[in-house]
Structure 1
Amino acid sequence: MDIKQLRYFTAVVQEGGFSGAAAKLHLSQPSLSKAIRTLEEQIGFQLLERTTKRVSLTESGSVFYGRALHILGEMDIFEKEVNEVKVVGSGEVRLGMIESVKNWIPNILSWYRSEYPDMHVVLKEVLGRNDIEQALRDYAVHICLTNEFIDEPDIVTAPLYEEKLVLVLNENHPLASRETIQFAHIANEPFIITSKGFQTRNNIMDAFEEAKVSPNICYDADRFETILTLVQAGIGISIIPRNYIGEVVPATLRIYEMDSRSLERKVYLAYIKNRYRPPAIEALLQHMIDSTALS
């Protein structure tokens, strides 16, 4: 008895007969019938009741069918795990991420290192929505951390936590002495904004529109790191995720929470719905969800 015989047998049961199973398996019907008879001879009992119209399981065949499905399911998992190891060696997980998670991800990776010390972690910066979808579908990453809700049938987007976008100023900026700052106060200030196509830019523009003022956009930048460097140099002001700055605010920086719901958003975990993930990668995904899942 071998795996091929089990696949033949389950196909006959699932198709309700030899003709449909033969077509599905790309075999001739006589060859398939012979293979099932050989299997019955090898195990020593009849698996199928054959009639002119269809076949049905014998009582013993029903028990055998259940065990065959279990074995084939385990074999499929085994083959996928072997292929994964063949491709990535001792094991590799690739995470796509936005910049603002840089202060959230260390605790996750510390846990993962302690639980799966042989897994190699690759962190890839994936920012725009199109890049996220392509990276997931091309299997360039296993999981993406993003501020974009991706409404696609093949992609699961699970909420992780909420974050706020805050106004950032140089410590010597004339507005830095104020207790609160409104959008009208910053309308004419040189503004540094994330590039077109990024969700952060959309959030910022929505907030200004709701306040019925327009930003004085003087600089576009792809990275928060660049934006903060320009702000600290006194080049302009900006709005970026509070989580990116971290718990300790640099002495050269002042931050303000603005009164706008558009500057409050969720961070999501995105992954391909039906992609096979080895247990070590599935464990990381589940730990991320469990650690900060929104109610």
Structure 2
Amino acid sequence: MDIKQLRYFAAVVAEGGFSGAAAKLHLSQPSLSKSIRTLEEQIGFQLLERTTKRVDLTESGRVFYERALLILAEMDIFEKEVNEVKVAGSGEVRLGMIESVKNWIPGILGWYRQEYPDMHVVLKEVLGRNDIEHALRDYAVHVCLTNEFIDEPDIVTVPLYKENLVLVMNANHPLANRPTVKLKDIEKEPFIITSKGFQTRANITKAFEEAGIKMNVCYDADRFETILTLVESGIGLSIIPRNYIGEIVPETLRIHELDSPSLERTVYLAYIKNRYRPPAIEALLDRMRGVE
């Protein structure tokens, strides 16, 4: 019995028959049938009930199938980790990130370039919790900078720093030069917000709910870059991370701090627990975590 036989068997079960599995595996149906018969002979019991229309698992086959899936899952991880060693050997680190870290990450990468000049860094924008989890588990990124705490047993989430979400508006807006602006002052203003599923939207929505007022949402956008362009054009107001804007505020914009605990959040570093990472990649994690 070998891994190939287990893959063939799992494919037959998944496809509900030999013809579909053979096409998916790019095998002839007779070759696939022979492989499954050989597997049954080797283990000493029948795995499949064969009919003219489809195949079904026998009682013993169900137990075998469950075990086979576990073995195949472990093998997939092993193959990915072997490939990961190859990638690390070529000197590449893949970093997932949210938009608001664009003014924080250069300091880290400047240090990394000096310490590890041969390492190639790939920056990938990863937005939304599901995308982050998939990117980490599927080896699309080694680590991810996110504004979401990910409570999963296989993922480590380390707090890095706090950031505030601030109100942004066109410099010529009637509220622009007020010393203070409150959420109730913008209740009827056309509002631009990040798309559904993003943590920023959840923070903003919660702040308005806590203040007992509604948002006049007129525009949804995925990127802060797009939001700022719309705000600068005078189309509406928005709330985005202060760190995204940078130290120097453009003359076309005005920003206001808002008094809401929901508009302060944490930026986290997320990575897979107990996964092998080459020393050069571990050094990058340590630097971001502030470990000397």
TM-score by length of 2: 0.71
8 A Cα contact 1:158 1:269, kept in partner:
yes
Distance, in Å, in 2 between the alignment partners of 1:165 and 1:87 is 37
Q: Residue deviations 1:86-118, cap 9 Å, x none?
A: 335531000000000000000000000000000
Residue 181 to residue 141, structure 1, CA distance change in 2 (3 Å):
same
Q: Residue deviations 1:198-228, cap 9 Å, x none?
A: 0000000000001100110000000000000
Give the partner amino acid of 1:119: M
Corresponding position of 1:199: 199
8 A Cα contact 1:189 1:237, kept in partner:
yes
Corresponding position of 1:92: 92
Instruction: Give runs of aligned pairs for residues 1-295 of structure 1, distance below 5 A.
Output: 84=84, 86-290=86-290
Distance, in Å, in 2 between the alignment partners of 1:234 and 1:87 is 47
Distance, in Å, in 2 between the alignment partners of 1:215 and 1:204 is 9
Q: Tell me the C-alpha RMSD between the 2 structures.
A: 1.7
8 A Cα contact 2:145 2:269, kept in partner:
yes
Distance, in Å, in 2 between the alignment partners of 1:201 and 1:94 is 26
Q: Residue deviations 1:72-97, cap 9 Å, x none?
A: xxxxxxxx998645335531000000
TM-score by length of 1: 0.70
Segments ≥4 residues shifted beyond 2 Å: 80-90
8 A Cα contact 1:170 1:233, kept in partner:
yes
Corresponding position of 2:52: none
8 A Cα contact 2:96 2:144, kept in partner:
yes
Distance, in Å, in 2 between the alignment partners of 1:142 and 1:82 is 14
Distance, in Å, in 1 between the alignment partners of 2:203 and 2:83 is 42
Residue 88 to residue 287, structure 1, CA distance change in 2 (3 Å):
closer
8 A Cα contact 1:85 1:91, kept in partner:
no
Distance, in Å, in 2 between the alignment partners of 1:280 and 1:242 is 31
Distance, in Å, in 1 between the alignment partners of 2:82 and 2:133 is 26
Give 3-state SS (helix, strand or coil) of 2:145's partner: strand
C-alpha displacement of 1:127: 0.7
Distance, in Å, in 2 between the alignment partners of 1:286 and 1:133 is 21
Distance, in Å, in 2 between the alignment partners of 1:201 and 1:161 is 19
Residue 279 to residue 192, structure 1, CA distance change in 2 (3 Å):
same
8 A Cα contact 2:88 2:278, kept in partner:
no
Give 3-state SS (helix, strand or coil) of 1:109's partner: helix
Distance, in Å, in 2 between the alignment partners of 1:227 and 1:83 is 39
8 A Cα contact 1:144 1:269, kept in partner:
yes
C-alpha displacement of 1:274: 1.3
Distance, in Å, in 2 between the alignment partners of 1:284 and 1:117 is 13
Aligned-residue identity in percent: 80
Unaligned runs of 5+ in 1: 1-79
Distance, in Å, in 2 between the alignment partners of 1:155 and 1:102 is 23
Distance, in Å, in 2 between the alignment partners of 1:180 and 1:82 is 56
Corresponding position of 1:18: none
Distance, in Å, in 2 between the alignment partners of 1:171 and 1:249 is 11
Residue 155 to residue 117, structure 1, CA distance change in 2 (3 Å):
same
8 A Cα contact 1:81 1:278, kept in partner:
no
